[in-house]
């Protein structure tokens, strides 16, 4: 099993996702610790941590963080922002291997939708359960069927911006959603300006799988988790037919 995604997009990923408020999201995680455990976990795994924005945010709040991601390019962005306290590991989450158990696992920004093979979601849930302390929380989000069917569809997007050195980038993103396989392919083309004012092009294909609420609930149950709540947003609001993302809180039963 080998993972080789998130290469071309890694250097511009944080700029494209600049609008995501990881601080409010971390507040939500801490509210979940309070609501469902009454105690703060010590060691937390940030699964598919990417460039480590949430990992770093939680580290700054005093948690011992382990960040795992399969993309060396995303992790090299994370390393350059590391506060020296986070342990980053380059691993395919389908073959997660930790040194011990953790008090909570987080997985942000639809990273689990990247598990497109049959049985892969259950396999990863099972590994997370394996490395969870008794009653540890597992907090994650996934893109909803509404988002795949009505938002992503066959739409395309353009992002333009500048990196931290003031060099321009341009990213074209074309979607193709196959409603039979429920796989959405994203075709990304990134053009990055270099110091000679030339644009270098890199292309990347990514795929996400659409999971229904029921499928996720059943995978959690089969792998030893108790579902504590599923929400439409980080304000604990109820899921409705236009929720674009589902936020899950589950507890490892042991």
Cβ of residue 111: shortest distance to ligand SAM, in angstroms?
4
Q: Of the two residues 95 and 238, which places its CB atom closer to ligand SAM in the complex?
A: 95
The two tokens of residue 165 are 């050195």
Please give the Cα distance from 33 to 91 (Å, whole number): 26
We find the least distance from the C-beta atom of residue 93 to ligand SAM, in angstroms, to be 4
Q: Look at the alpha carbons of 137, 129, 100, 73 in this order and tell me if their dihedral is positive or negative.
A: negative
Which of residues 111 and 132 has its CB atom nearest to ligand SAM in the complex?
111
Tokens representing 180? 């039979």
CB of 52 to ligand SAM, least distance (A): 8
Residue numbers at the binding site for ligand SAM (CB under 6 A): 3, 5-6, 48-50, 53-54, 69-71, 74, 92-94, 108-111, 114
Task: Report the residue number, 209 or 251, with the smaller CB distance to ligand SAM.
Answer: 209
* CA geometry: angle 44, 82, 7, nearest 5 deg: 95
| Least separation in angstroms between CB 197 and ligand SAM | 29
For ligand SAM, the closer of residues 118 and 198 by Cβ is 118
The answer to whether residues 82 and 88 touch, using CB atoms and an 8 Å cutoff, is yes
Q: Which is nearer to ligand SAM, 69 or 192 (CB)?
A: 69
Residue with tokens 């590994």: 127
| Residue whose CB is nearest to ligand SAM in the complex, by number | 50
Match 């944080």 to its residue by tokens. 14
Q: Which helix (H) or strand (E) holds 247?
A: strand 245-252
Residue by residue, DSSP assigns 13-28 as: HHHHTTT--HHHHHHH
CB of 1 to ligand SAM, least distance (A): 8
Give the strand pairing for 156-162 and 168-178.
Answer: antiparallel
Write down the least CB distance from residue 234 to ligand SAM, Å: 13
């Amino acid at each position: 099993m080998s993972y080789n995604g998130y290469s071309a997009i890694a250097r511009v990923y944080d700029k494209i996702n600049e609008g995501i408020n990881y601080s409010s999201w971390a507040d939500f995680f801490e509210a979940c610790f309070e609501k469902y455990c009454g105690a703060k976990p010590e060691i937390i795994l940030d699964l598919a941590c990417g460039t480590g924005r949430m990992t770093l945010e939680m580290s700054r709040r005093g948690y011992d963080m382990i960040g795992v991601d399969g993309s060396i390019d995303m992790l090299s962005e994370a390393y350059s922002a590391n506060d020296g306290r986070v342990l980053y590991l380059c691993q395919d989450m389908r073959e997660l291997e930790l040194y011990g158990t953790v008090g909570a696992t987080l997985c942000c920004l639809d990273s689990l939708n990247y598990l497109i093979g049959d049985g892969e979601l259950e396999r990863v849930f099972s590994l997370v359960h394996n490395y969870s302390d008794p009653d540890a929380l597992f907090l994650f989000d996934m893109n909803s069927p509404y988002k795949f069917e009505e938002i992503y569809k066959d739409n395309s997007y353009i992002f333009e911006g500048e990196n931290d050195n003031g060099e321009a980038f341009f990213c074209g993103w074309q979607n193709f959603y196959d409603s039979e396989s429920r796989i959405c392919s994203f075709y990304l083309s990134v053009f990055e300006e270099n110091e000679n004012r030339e644009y270098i092009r890199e292309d990347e294909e990514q795929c996400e799988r659409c999971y229904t609420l029921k499928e996720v609930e059943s995978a959690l149950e089969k792998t030893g988790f108790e579902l504590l709540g599923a929400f439409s947003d980080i304000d604990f609001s109820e899921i409705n037919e236009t929720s674009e993302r589902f936020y899950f809180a589950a507890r490892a039963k042991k």
